[in-house]
Structure 1
Amino acid sequence: MIHDAPSAGRIRWGWFIAWVVVMAVLPLVFDDTHTLSLMAITALAGLSLALMWGYAGILSFGHAAYFGLGAYTYAIAAVNFGESTVPLLLSIVVPALLAAVIGAMMFWGRIGDVYLGVITLVVSLILFKFMNATAGDAYKIGDARLGGFNGIPGFQILNVPGDPSAQIFGVPFYYVIAVCLALCYLLCRWILSTAFGRTLVGIRENELRVELLGYDVPAHKTAVFTIGAGMAGLSGAFFAMWAEIVTPGVFALGMSAEMIVWVIAGGLGTLIGPMMGAAALTLLKLMLGQQTLIDNSLVLGAIMVIVVLLIPKGIVPTVAGWRSRRERSVASRRGQASGRKRRTVAVPATPGDGAGSAS
């Protein structure tokens, strides 16, 4: 079985507590809650991929498929229901069901990692192409027109359950996303603390050995794939509320690529790292969007290359490792100093030493 060292656990919870404090305080010092909300949304999307890739070794090149499906599911359901509660739940369930079906076919079909990445990418591209081709009046689900490349505008945003007129936006909307993000993190942390989670890590490290020990590897991989897709769908629903329009761009290859960069930059094999990486790179992208000199994609690509070459473990594991080495060094120096103080040499005087005999 795999257990975390106590010091690693303290560092991990320290990062999380610091993250929660920062998220709680940010609206008090940074009045652009629109930007803060988007940072929290992308952090949730990064967390969903971090669970799958960092702990189960499942790299999805088309993770935007579930993000986009969550956004479209919410928009379509919100148009038909006229409120946000049921659509929000459906935005989790529908992507999760699709992931469960695809995951079952891939993992029980013993598809290799390379083909797995290609399949997830193709699913995202199919959804992107299909949604772009739905401009006609025939493409309707209930009262919601899919709208082709123009997308679906004008749907109900987040509201108080049971009261569609009590809409939630601005600072309260940000805090709703922040609370959902914290709850999803705690859910992931709980999953990883169970036997199921430890088996996932074992699968990542040596899938054949775990299977020979009698564990159902396809079932474990399908389950975590489904959970990750559900969280991605939730982040997509929040994105739809944030943008107040959903277009096929949510399925674009660029979105999937950004998610991979978030995880690598923040730290593969951690949960808090990809959340921080997603939030920071989203802010950087918005800042770069205010100028036309440098393309955003070039900057993100350069960041990925720099991180892989200089800090391949990612920012959070690198900082945590530096702190751990520093603490061990300080403890070692203190131990050496204490040992030197304890080593005192006592030379007892022996009677007659140095005295000559009278003759």
Structure 2
Amino acid sequence: MSKFTRLLGEDSEPATGLWWFLVAVVAIFGFALPLLVGLDVVMSTSIILIYSILTLSMSYLWGYCGMLSFGQTAMYGIGGYTYAVFALNFGNTTVAVIVAILVGTITALVLGYFMIYGRISKIYFTVITLVITVTLEKAVRATSDERFTIGSVPLRGQNGISNVPDLQIPWDTSNVLFLDGVYYVALISLLCVFIGLRLLLTTHFGRVLMGIRDNERRAELLGYDSRKYQLGAFVLCGGISALAGVLYGVWGNFVAPEMMNLNSAANIVIYAIVGGRSTLVGPIAGTAIVQYLTSWLGTAGIGQVTVYLGAVLIVFVMVFPSGILPTLGNLLGRFNRRKSAAPVGKPVEQGGTIR
């Protein structure tokens, strides 16, 4: 494994000083960005940060636990809707954030318990999470009738819930966060999730998870209950997905069934594939790349954006089969090995030539 791939956090080694330095540099740049650009760039960057959190929750399960889950968008939608309903009913957005994350986490716990302790195969796990997500979206779309309300908040079916409250400052509920404030909350949330997941890999829990991913039967023969570790990871990532849903609702002041549709579920898989699901930086890079391409193709006036974007993604997958960052890391590793293995010329005592 090259130093580059280790720097990306592809193994369970402790984070190095260089890794912490690079994280600090990125954080400083992120905090300074709103001072350097306009509000339109801040808004577009905020949604990339939010999608990155959601993609991390999926790619961590897939890349480090071997569990491809389409259910993260279900927790994403549940988090967004719970925040909207609670905040509109009770007015306190700080409590609404906590409740939304808890509801998403508990939902993941219930669903994960029946799927993981039911010993279903990984392919059926993927299929069931996809079915749950699509079913939840259809159920929410069917709530158009005005009788479907929670408290005083009508769900409004496919029209979604508008006027989702802005985040209040916890110590001063009379003031709310505007666009730049939402950006900073999303940035801090992404940094906390990224650093937390990276540090989790270095713990006993994280190392066992990767062992289960590589060979579940061997891990169980060594005395580890794979179901317990997989459920713990699924619940953790469910809470992270719910957090992303809350931030999306705050960012757009709107939640809708589209948060949980098949397109949203597939998008985060694409983000992880493009960037590299075997790292933690890869999903963030993949999200930024695909979002930028989508925005650029849309503003360039090119028709059939989806077709062109699909062609670009196919090229990405063919050229970078394991993702952009892992592929670049492997190339750098090969280059360094060839450089270190190259013969070094030295003088020969007889003949006077140098090889």
Check whether TM > 0.5: yes
- The equivalent of 1:157 in structure 2 is 166
* Letter aligned with residue 232 of structure 2: A
2:109 aligned partner: 100
Which runs of structure 2 are paired with 1:95-134 in the superposition (5 Å)?
95-134=104-143
The DSSP-based 3-state class of the residue aligned with 2:165 is coil
Matched residues in 2 for 1:318 and 1:255: separation?
26
Query: Unmatched 5+ residue regions in structure 2?
Result: 10-18
Counterpart check, 1:30 vs 2:37: yes
Report the Cα offset of residue 135 of structure 1: 1.8
1:19 CA displacement: 4.1
Shift of 1:26: 3.3
- 1 CA distance for matches of 2:338 and 2:25? 24
Instruction: Tell me if the contact between 2:5 and 2:330 (Cα under 8 Å) persists in the aligned partners.
Output: no
1:61 and 1:303, CA in 2 relative to 1: closer, same or farther beyond 3 A? farther
Corresponding position of 2:147: 138
CA positional deviation for 1:215: 0.6
Q: Which amino acid aligns with 2:284?
A: M
2-structure distance, mates of 1:93, 1:225:
14
User: For 1:301, which of 301, 306, 310 is the aligned residue?
Assistant: 310
For the aligned residues, what is the CA RMSD?
A: 2.2
Write the deviation string for residues 41-89 of structure 1: whole angstroms up to 9, x where unpaired: 1111111111111100110134211111111111111112213211111
1:1-359 equivalences in 2 (<5 Å): 8-10=5-7, 12=9, 13=19, 16=23, 19-31=26-38, 32-290=41-299, 293-333=302-342, 336-337=343-344, 340-341=345-346, 345=349
Structure 1 residues 344 and 18, CA, compared in 2 at 3 Å: closer, same or farther? farther
Q: Tell me the distance in 1 between the aligned counterparts of 2:8 and 2:258.
A: 38
2:14 aligned residue: none
In structure 2, distance between residues paired with 1:222 and 1:262: 24
Give me the whole-angstrom Cα distance separating, in 2, the residues matched to 1:86 and 1:44: 21
TM-score by structure 2 length? Answer: 0.88
C-alpha separation in 2, matches of 1:326 and 1:17: 28
Shift of 1:148: 1.1
Cα pair distance change 1:7/1:125, threshold 3 Å: closer
Distance 1:8 1:293, change over 3 A: closer
Larger mean CA deviation between 190-199 and 158-167 belongs to 158-167
**Rg larger in 1 or in 2?**
1
Equivalent pair of 2:3/2:333 in contact (CA under 8 Å):
no
Deviations, residues 110-149 of structure 1 (Å, cap 9, x unaligned): 1111211111111111111111111223211122211111
Matched-pair contact (CA < 8 Å) for 1:134–1:148: yes
Aligned-partner Cα distance in 2 for 1:293–1:304: 16
Distance 2:308 2:107 in 1: 33
Q: Is the 1:75–1:155 Cα contact (8 Å) retained in structure 2?
A: yes
In structure 1, how many angstroms separate the alpha carbons of the residues matched to 2:232 and 2:74? 17
> Tell me, what secondary structure is at the counterpart of 1:289?
helix
Q: What whole-Å deviation, never above 9, does each CA across 1:295-342 have from its counterpart, x for those lacking one?
A: 343344334322322211101111222223333344444xx43xx45x
Q: Which amino acid aligns with 1:9?
A: R
What TM-score do the two structures reach when normalised by structure 1?
0.87
2:113 aligned partner, one-letter code: A
Task: Tell whether the 8 Å contact from 2:293 to 2:309 is kept in structure 1 after alignment.
Answer: no
Distance (Å, rounded) in 1 between the aligned partners of 2:203 and 2:270: 28
Q: Distance in 1 between matches of 2:299 and 2:185?
A: 28
Q: Given that residues 203 and 217 in structure 1 are in contact (C-alpha distance below 8 angstroms), is that contact kept between their aligned partners in structure 2?
A: yes
Task: Give me the whole-angstrom Cα distance separating, in 1, the residues matched to 2:302 and 2:4.
Answer: 45
Asked whether the 8 Å contact 1:261–1:300 carries over to 2, the reply is no
Bigger drift between 227-236 and 28-37 goes to 28-37
The answer to whether the Cα contact below 8 Å between 2:4 and 2:329 also exists between their aligned partners in 1 is no
Q: Please, which runs of 5 or more residues in structure 1 have no aligned partner?
A: 348-359
Cα deviation digits, residues 199-238 of structure 1 (max 9, x gap): 1111111111111211111111111011111111101110
1:276 is displaced (CA, Å) by 1.2
